[in-house]
Structure 1
Amino acid sequence: MTRRARLLAVVALVACGAVTVISATQTWLVVVLDDGAGHTLEVPGAAAIPVLAPLGLAVLALGGALSIVGLALRYAFGALTVLIAVILGWFTGQIVFAHPVGAVASTVTESTGITGEAAVAELVAAITPTAWPAVTLVTTIVLAAAGAFTLVTAHRWKGSGRRYRTEDGPAPIAAAGSRPHDAIDSWDDLSRGEDPTTRPLD
């Protein structure tokens, strides 16, 4: 069960991060301009929410690292995952339910050269969302649940392999007398402030 818990958390984070990064490249909003010709503009997720792609990449990194870190970092990563989910959920929810002009302003400005949110608002006749904002909002809910699941179950996860652990310190030195004392050992003695000439002969 503990192994499954870790695997479930890792898979959930990686999947949510991947969906978020993909979503950043997809069309989120379609804007109809009140310019006499009714031109339309497609607004990608990265333009609607500039932090979408960076936070998606951060979630991917957290998911990968979560598979090897110790207990303290599991809690830290779980809390950070919840925080990222809240941030993404807040921005995404505004687009899903409110379709704010600010989300399309940069795309409209790039296309028309008109700046200022008020001027852009006068030029925009309609804003229609695609399915991607809703998909991303659901993803943030799953992400928040995965972060909370990590916080609740992290203490029961089996420890990561020894090759990933640094808190155990360096490998133990071979017991004295297990092999002849050579020149390298003498240098080690000197580095510790010991006089190798006083060491008894092997």
Structure 2
Amino acid sequence: MTPARVRGLLLAITALLAALVFLAWSQPWFSLELTASSGDPVSLDVRGDVAASALAPLALAVLAIVAALALAGPVFRVVFGVLESLLGACVIAVTAVSLGDPAAASAHAVTDVTGVSGADSVRELISSVAVSVWPTVAIVVGALIVLAGALVAVTAPRWPTSGRRYSRSRGVPADAVEAEAAPDPVSEWDALSDGDDPTAGAR
């Protein structure tokens, strides 16, 4: 596979992975059973935007890296590849913290429904927790982002660079340089009429 295709494939994969992080962030993560004051259980679904709100800015940062990689030079591409891997690790860490303590991750949603605040009081209200597949999806996607970032860092020095539209002559377009060097017949005729030799400077 050519370096150009590798670049296009990695950029497309990274953008897709960022979109999957957004998808996981927007889906239900936990289904809680709360003990109401009447004694009847109350069901509450907690989405990723509550349980792991930091995933959204992390996904945006990954998308920003895709745009930066399309414009950066070889050295900065390596830097951005390493940064992408770090963002993937952050996605894993945020999700793992939420999975490690669903009650704490869901505390804000429980408070909104019951009016009860405080970590200990919220834990007492939660009788059971069911975890959906979306936290696992977020962890897998985070791991893939880490891998994609590592591949970017390894392959980026071989990616093609955009062609130069201008010549090396003081940053002036090549066609302008040629036009400036071409002789002007009108100017030469005027010089000859004044008694000057227009070819004297070229000798």
Match of 1:20 in 2: 21
Contact 2:77-2:153 at 8 Å conserved across structures: yes
User: What's the CA shift for 1:72?
Assistant: 2.4
How far apart are the structure 2 equivalents of 1:178 and 1:117?
82
Match of 1:78 in 2: 81
Contact 1:28-1:48 at 8 Å conserved across structures: yes
Structure 1 pair 13–162 and aligned structure 2 pair: CA distance change class (3 A): farther
Match of 2:149 in 1: 147
Per-residue deviation, residues 91-128 of structure 1 (Å, max 9, x unmatched): 212334x3432110111111112111111111111121
Within-5 A mapping of 1:3-152: 3-35=4-36, 36-96=39-99, 98-152=100-154
How far apart are the structure 2 equivalents of 1:28 and 1:91?
13
User: What's the CA shift for 1:171?
Assistant: 3.3
How far apart are the structure 1 equivalents of 2:28 and 2:152?
32
How far apart are the structure 2 equivalents of 1:85 and 1:61?
14
Match of 1:198 in 2: none
TM-score (normalizing by structure 1): 0.78
Contact 1:68-1:161 at 8 Å conserved across structures: no
- The residue type equivalent to 1:143 in the other structure is I
Decide which structure has the larger Cα Rg and report it.
Answer: 2
SS at match of 1:118: helix
How far apart are the structure 2 equivalents of 1:177 and 1:99?
75
Structure 1 pair 106–162 and aligned structure 2 pair: CA distance change class (3 A): farther
- The residue type equivalent to 1:5 in the other structure is V
Structure 1 pair 178–110 and aligned structure 2 pair: CA distance change class (3 A): farther
Contact 2:95-2:138 at 8 Å conserved across structures: yes
How far apart are the structure 2 equivalents of 1:161 and 1:29?
51
How far apart are the structure 1 equivalents of 2:7 and 2:78?
12
The runs of 5 or more residues in structure 1 that have no matched partner are 181-202
Contact 1:79-1:151 at 8 Å conserved across structures: yes
Structure 1 pair 162–135 and aligned structure 2 pair: CA distance change class (3 A): farther
Structure 1 residue runs of 4 or more that deviate by more than 2 Å after TM superposition: 93-96, 160-163, 173-180
When the two structures are aligned, how many residues end up with a matched partner? 175
How far apart are the structure 1 equivalents of 2:147 and 2:7?
14
TM-score (normalizing by structure 2): 0.77
The runs of 5 or more residues in structure 2 that have no matched partner are 185-203
User: What's the CA shift for 1:37?
Assistant: 1.6
SS at match of 1:67: helix
How far apart are the structure 2 equivalents of 1:66 and 1:20?
19
Contact 1:14-1:64 at 8 Å conserved across structures: no
